[in-house]
Amino acid sequence: MAIIIDGKKLAAEIIKDLKKEREKIKESIKLGVVLVGDSASALSFIKRKKEVAKELAIDFRVYLYPSTIKSKDLRKEVSKICRIPEMKGVVVQLPLPEKINAPTVLNAVLEDKDPDCLSERNLAKFYNNRSIVKPPTVSAVDFLLKKYRVNLKNKNILIIGAGYLTGKPLAVYFLNQKISFTVLEKDYKNQEKILKNADIIFSGAGKPNLIKGKSLKKGVIIFDLSFNFYHKKIVGDCEKESVLKKASLYSPVPGGIGPLTVAFLYSNLLTLIKNKEA
């Protein structure tokens, strides 16, 4: 019987703790969210973030720009938002339109106002294992691994898809911990064998029904990190019913890593504020 991770419930517990942390901070806190265009996934991510902001008495401000905006102008806007009084954090909601130079826009977020850990200053510190905050997905995974006492040593660890917000930072997290792992990209021919041998899978492929129960080892642990719109529903990479027959622990989509990622975004925000006060 698979244990299904209840990310919403766990996130609620984390947010409860964050509330206490929030109360200790006497200042008012603004969080700016930069949204370009109207991608469905971006809008969906923002909704949940807004709810949590309210719980934490954080003034959540959305700054909306048309998808025709130029990288240079967006960069300037982000810089301006960072300098608004009481603005303690700025989130540039991804994905950005393809023609936008995302790294240069993300670099406009000041290092100490970057709870997503996506500016290159923070990314490099994370790469060098010396950052104050980690990318929220990594924090969420790290939390779940500890919560469920998942031992990573001597396990066949598999990352499917080295995406910018999922597999890639997770690979860095394993590199920094000197943990053995495999990264699987979609065009690799030995997929089936590698899947079948995996003890712990982190999937960020972005491909509905990619992972089916029959391809898996009995007792496998699966963290689904993807977020796909499929037939008007949000799904991950796993075919849920069949995967549940094989997995011993399973983080589903929706309701798994997603809510935790939002919780850790706010955890990062409070960490950055406290770090500045110290």
Residue 11 touches a copy of itself, criterion: CB under 8 A: no
Residue 275 touches a copy of itself, criterion: CB under 8 A: no
Contacts of 119 (CB under 8 A, 6+ apart): 106, 107, 108, 109, 110, 111
Task: Name the token pair of 73.
Answer: 């102008």
Residue 98 touches a copy of itself, criterion: CB under 8 A: no
> 20 vs 130, which CB is nearer to a copy of itself?
130
Angle between helices 7-24 and 257-277 (to 10 degrees): 20
Residue 217 CB, nearest distance to a copy of itself (Å)? 14
Residue 183 touches a copy of itself, criterion: CB under 8 A: yes
Radius of gyration of the chain (CA): 19
Residue 49 CB, nearest distance to a copy of itself (Å)? 24
Residue 151 touches a copy of itself, criterion: CB under 8 A: no
**What Å distances lie between residue 109 and 28, 102, 172, CA to CA?**
20, 12, 22
Residue 148 touches a copy of itself, criterion: CB under 8 A: no
DSSP, residue by residue, 192-209: HHHHHH-SEEEE----TT
> 133 vs 172, which CB is nearer to a copy of itself?
172
Contacts of 247 (CB under 8 A, 6+ apart): 2, 216, 219, 220, 221, 222
Residue 189 touches a copy of itself, criterion: CB under 8 A: yes
Q: State the Cα–Cα distance between residues 160 and 201, nearest whole angstrom.
A: 7
| Only segment of 29-37, 51-59, 185-193, 227-235 that touches a copy of itself (CB under 8 A) | 185-193
Residue 181 touches a copy of itself, criterion: CB under 8 A: yes
Residue 180 touches a copy of itself, criterion: CB under 8 A: yes
Phi-psi region for residue 178, left (φ > 0), alpha (ψ -120 to 50) or beta? left
Residue 71 touches a copy of itself, criterion: CB under 8 A: no
Of 168, 226, 246, 267, the residue at the interface with a copy of itself (CB under 8 A) is 168
Residue 18 touches a copy of itself, criterion: CB under 8 A: no
